[in-house]
Amino acid sequence: MKIAIIGGSGLEDPDILKNPGETEVETPYGNPSSSFKTGRIEGVEVAILSRHGRDHGIPPSQVNSRANIWAIKELGCSHILATTACGSLRGEIERGDLVIPDQFIDFTRHREITFFERFEAGNLQHCPMSDPFDKNLRQKLIDTAGELNLAFHHKGTVITIEGPRFSTRAESNMFRMWGADIINMSVAPECILANEMQIPYAAVALSTDYDCWKTDEAPVTWEEVLRVFNQNVKNVIRLLKHTIAGF
């Protein structure tokens, strides 16, 4: 048992491990976003990767998710817990709420989305994606969030956009009509690639803004995303730590 944490915006360098060490991994796809911080939480082995690099120098479209997921596999991690800031596309998902998504819509356009670039010797690789987030891992997060009395939503559809720009109001309204509940720039193709590698993957999304569909709220800005994330990051960390302690 070894848990990989992929830390998103606002969680570049969490100080949550006992006896921390550092590991570099090389992959056939190039370098992962950062080195891995390794250590233990309540005796459970953990390896933490910073999705955008420790100094947040890697924009969403440039995140090398194939290298990241390959490296996580190479390290022998059995599960992936990913964190992400997100915008809320629903009135009932408030700033600071956590969401444990159960579905994604991939609206990215310029990313490497598969490990299966060639079907060798007739070995066709069409990975099922009906339920992309691991059910058992999600349930652990949901149970723990309940025990900790956190403000959270036990399911939701996340739409991942290419970025780095935010959406237009027309797009934001369209995503709501499509049934998306939250919006970010990172779950796809990361979750897709974890599925291809058969590593159970679940995400904790922290709602930081109302994107721009809600006319009685100011449209999202990056400063606002960071401000609200930093205000609530302790809840993300508590949820990760207690969930991992329960493994």
Q: Which residues pair with 108 in a beta bridge?
A: none
- Is 97 tagged catalytic? no
- Is 216 tagged catalytic? no
Q: Do residues 153 and 206 make contact, with C-beta atoms less than 8 angstroms apart?
A: no
Residue 200's CB is within 10 A of a number of other CB atoms, namely 17
Nearest distance, CB of residue 19 and ligand ADE, angstroms: 33
Closest-by-Cβ residue to ligand ADE is 87
Nearest distance, CB of residue 95 and ligand ADE, angstroms: 10
Query: For 233, what's the count of Cα atoms within 13 Å in the CB-facing half-sphere?
Result: 20
| Annotated binding residue 209 | yes
Nearest distance, CB of residue 224 and ligand ADE, angstroms: 8
- The nearer residue to ligand ADE, 125 or 168, going by C-beta atoms, is 168
Buried b / exposed e over 42-53, threshold 16 CB at 10 Å, is eebbbbbbbbbb
- Which residues of this protein are in contact with ligand ADE, per CB under 6 A? 85-87, 161, 166, 183-185, 208-209, 211, 220, 225
Nearest distance, CB of residue 137 and ligand ADE, angstroms: 22
| Annotated binding residue 29 | no
CA gap 154, 128 in Å, rounded: 23
Tell me which of 134, 143, 209, 216 is the catalytic residue.
209
- For the chain, the first-to-last Cα distance in angstroms comes to 8
- The nearer residue to ligand ADE, 74 or 224, going by C-beta atoms, is 224
Task: Report the SS3 class of residue 180.
Answer: coil
CA gap 150, 238 in Å, rounded: 10
CA gap 4, 73 in Å, rounded: 9
Choose among 186, 194, 187: nearest CA to 115: 194
CA gap 99, 95 in Å, rounded: 11
| Annotated binding residue 186 | yes
Tell me which of 102, 106, 181, 211 is the catalytic residue.
211
Nearest distance, CB of residue 28 and ligand ADE, angstroms: 30
| Annotated binding residue 185 | yes
Handedness of CA 97, 238, 133, 108 (dihedral sign): positive
- The nearer residue to ligand ADE, 35 or 160, going by C-beta atoms, is 160
- The nearer residue to ligand ADE, 208 or 243, going by C-beta atoms, is 208
- The nearer residue to ligand ADE, 35 or 207, going by C-beta atoms, is 207
Give the helix ranges, DSSP H, for 163-221: 169-177, 187-196
Q: Which residues are annotated as a binding site for substrate?
A: 185, 209-211
Q: Which residues are annotated as a binding site for phosphate?
A: 9, 51-52, 84-85, 186
Residues noted as catalytic: 209, 211
Q: Which residues are annotated as a binding site?
A: 9, 51-52, 84-85, 185-186, 209-211
